[in-house]
Amino acid sequence: MSRLAFAARDDGARLLRELILDVLRRVASSLPGPVTRLGVAGNPAMIHLLLGLDCSGLAAAPYRLSFRGGHESALAPDLPPAYVPPLLGPFVGADASAGLHAVMRGGAVPPFLLADFGTNGEFVLALPGGRFLAASVPMGPALEGVGPRLGRVAGPGVAVGFELTPAGLSPVAYRDGPAPADVAAIGGTGYLSLLARLVSVGVLRPDGRFAGAGASLPPLGRRILAGLALDGGEPRLDMGRLALWASDVEEVQKVKAACNLAFSGLFRAAGLGIGALSAIHLAGAFGSHAAPDDLEALGFLPSGGAAKCRVAGNASLDGVCLLTADAAARRDILETASRVEVVDLASAMGPEDFAQAFVKRMVFRYVA
């Protein structure tokens, strides 16, 4: 939405489009030969900006697409036309359809769920009989390490996980980074791992609050909780060079609630539960590195969901490569897209108010 807001400014959309085109030009110029084919997958906002299309239908309700994709579109005189996979809905884009094609070509058997975690979470539930349900939720940048006070994108000096030791919590450093004692920031997967460890020893309650001083905790939990202090009136858990603030926990709770809503809304619309799924395919950079056990422990996934998870990697890239090179595959994904129904999560909640449903899920347990 921030990109759409910028695009609404005078000359904003043109500037963003030129930035994207410049990246494509740099990639093309770095290749050993001329580029004859080009495929682009992305969320609807990015696709509309790239093609210089009207974005107003994505900026305010009722949301609508001015472009459906599924064919080649001109970009610039010095670039070949770009194939864009079908856009499935106003916030379920070409990246979702490309990822869906990739996992299906990889042998995924319905019913399965494709989950692409990002600032905009996109989910596609494939059902027997060729039916598909899709949904999207705004998740924000917390899973990328942006928002929490010590948050940072994964890299040297960043904790990407935590382990419980007899002495307390020990950060797991990003590969080829400094020793754990020198870690000074926390990545998205690090925050999930940290919160899951804290929940497991009772330091963090399911409602997201730190345990009180009189709480009945195991010895390790009491040792960790001894680091709890107030910082300008806000609870802060000190862990050596690292710390966790109550506001950091809330950032992750919001993401968890959004993800939980997508899962429960799709399952309600389909009339099935986690046990019916053959697999949950986790796509994208975050999905490739997040620990499924942490996702289940915090309620992002229903009970039993971790065992169903399969890492799909950059399924969007894999899919658009397959589609760009294969005309028959492009026809197939167009036909598949025609059978995708985008679920209105507010309606899927039934009589429950959407805002109430969201708040109800801001807890570290899965809410059906």
Instruction: Tell me the Cα Rg of the chain.
Output: 22
Closest by CA position to 311, among listed 42, 105, 103, 95: 103
Q: Could you tell me the residue range of the domain that residue 105 belongs to?
A: 91-368
Q: What is the pLDDT of residue 28?
A: 94
Residue type, 58: L
Which residues are within 8 A (CB) of 329 and not within 5 positions of it... i.e. 6 or more apart? Answer: 101, 105, 322, 323
232 and 140 together in one domain: yes
Per-residue model confidence (pLDDT) at position 306: 98
Residues of the chain with pLDDT under 70: 176-180
> Where do runs of H (alpha helix) occur along 51-93?
56-59
Q: Which of 49, 84, 119 is the last residue of a domain?
A: 84
Instruction: Please check whether residues 218 and 97 belong to one and the same domain.
Output: yes
Both 58 and 143 in one domain: the answer is no
Cβ neighbors of 185 (< 8 A, separation 6 or more) are 145, 150, 151, 152, 157, 158, 159
Q: Are residues 104 and 140 in the same domain?
A: yes
Mark whether 162 and 191 lie in a shared domain.
yes
Q: Give the list of residues 6+ apart from residue 184 with CB closer than 8 angstroms, or none.
A: 150, 157, 241, 242
Q: In the prediction, which pLDDT does 351 show?
A: 78
Are 185 and 67 within one domain?
no
Q: What is the pLDDT of residue 54?
A: 93
Query: pTM for this one?
Result: 0.94
**Contact indicator for 117, 300 with CB cutoff of 8 Å:** no
Say whether both 40 and 171 belong to one domain.
Answer: no
Give per-residue pLDDT as tens, 309-342. 999 999 999 999 999 999 999 999 999 999 999 9
Shared-domain flag, residues 160 and 287: yes
Helix (H) or strand (E) holding 49: helix 44-50
Distance of alpha carbon 27 from alpha carbon 359, whole angstroms:
43
At residue 348, the pLDDT reads: 84
- Tracing tokens 């289940």 back to the chain, one arrives at 296
Q: Which of 51, 69, 84 corresponds to the end of one domain?
A: 84
User: What's the structural domain count of the chain?
Assistant: 2
Structure tokens at 328: 């028959």
Contact 46, 3 (CB under 8 A): yes
